[in-house]
Amino acid sequence: MVNVGILGATGMVGQRFIELLADHPNFEVTALTASSRSAGKRYEDAVTWHLESKIPESIGDTIVVDTDPNQVKDVEIVFSALPTQHAAVVEPKFAEAGMKVASNASAMRMEPDVPLVVPEVNPEHLDLIETQQRKRGWDGFIVTNPNCSTIALVMTLKPLYDQFNIKRVYVSTMQAVSGAGYNGVPSMAIVDNLVPFIGDEEEKMESETLHLLGDFDGTTVTNANFGVSASCHRVSVLDGHTEAVFIEMEDDFAVDEIKHSFSNFNGLPQKLNLHSAPENPIVIREELNRPQPRMDRMAGNGMAVSVGRIRKDDVFDNGLKYILVGHNTIRGAAGASILNAELINEIM
């Protein structure tokens, strides 16, 4: 078993890490960190638990410590659920101390020597770790996963990008309130309402998508050469991001070709049979009214992306459109970091 820690363990994403790691066959949670006001308390006493599952028995009595590498002992991997500003300062300290940091925070995502990885999409970008360690003089390293809405989108773009020439991508998101954290969106702002703005979300989707699908020459990543335009919106859904995707292709295609690409898509995690990897990363729903977040967010234990309403769009030249749903705090956050760590643990 590999001893792991969770940075920011009392927050929403930290709680998902605990839930998903509770019975993990390869990782054992031996350290939990949080702010100084929680340090020294039993986890059960420090946290306001928001998930439907119970706090795992093995975790409740664990004493929370400060988010300081000197306080985290005998741990090989740490999962970061820290806020961005805090992560920018703290994560490098853990890497410098020799730990492997699997981060869900955005602070280090676009650093040129930090791998931004979705294991089914660009596992080869993990080779940046050697460059990162050499450049920064670290014994450990940082690997990041993308933004929750980006992960769901790029999972569906990857098989199309490999088979067809994509010219432009337009995406409009309907994002769950859990993506903003428990206190992120006041109830009076979201009940009977839709909020047509999420800070920095559109910029993240547009930049991270091109980076993830970019060419890697062993030292640097060159962005994919197509356009991405995103419009992001918060809706009154608890979990599960829905995205309406419109794509302009260079060449004509048949809808059955698109479905075949989706249904046959798999990647290195599936070939290695990693614990958190969904058997089918993309699940096609043929019903006219699917996918829906409440019904489809747990596909593949929350790690798969459901796609439906796959059809041509005659407004665009060689246009394609479809709807997707992905679980934003499982596949889009904690589960993504865990799958990254599983892949690293397997191949490095």
Hey, which residues are catalytic here? 148, 241
Dist. CA 160–CA 168, nearest whole Å: 12
Token digits of residue 94: 């853990």
Dist. CA 197–CA 313, nearest whole Å: 26
Helix ranges, the chain (H): 12-21, 43-46, 57-60, 84-96, 128-136, 148-163, 187-190, 201-212, 255-263, 268-271, 293-296, 335-347
Name 160's Cβ contacts closer than 8 Å, sequence gap at least 6.
166, 247, 258, 261, 320
Dist. CA 115–CA 344, nearest whole Å: 12
The b-or-e profile of 216-228 (16+ CB within 10 A means b, else e) is beeeebeebebeb
- What are 4's strand-pairing partners? 29, 77
Dist. CA 128–CA 106, nearest whole Å: 17
Dist. CA 225–CA 105, nearest whole Å: 26
For the chain, first and last CA: distance in Å? 15
Q: What Rg value do the Cα atoms of the chain yield, rounded?
A: 20
Residue 346: other Cβ atoms inside 10 A: 15
| Local structure of 242: helix, strand or coil | strand
Cis-peptide into 293, omega within 30 deg: no
Residues 110 and 88: beta-carbon distance below 8 Å:
no
For the residues of 200-216, what is the DSSP string, one character each? THHHHHHHHHHHHTSEE
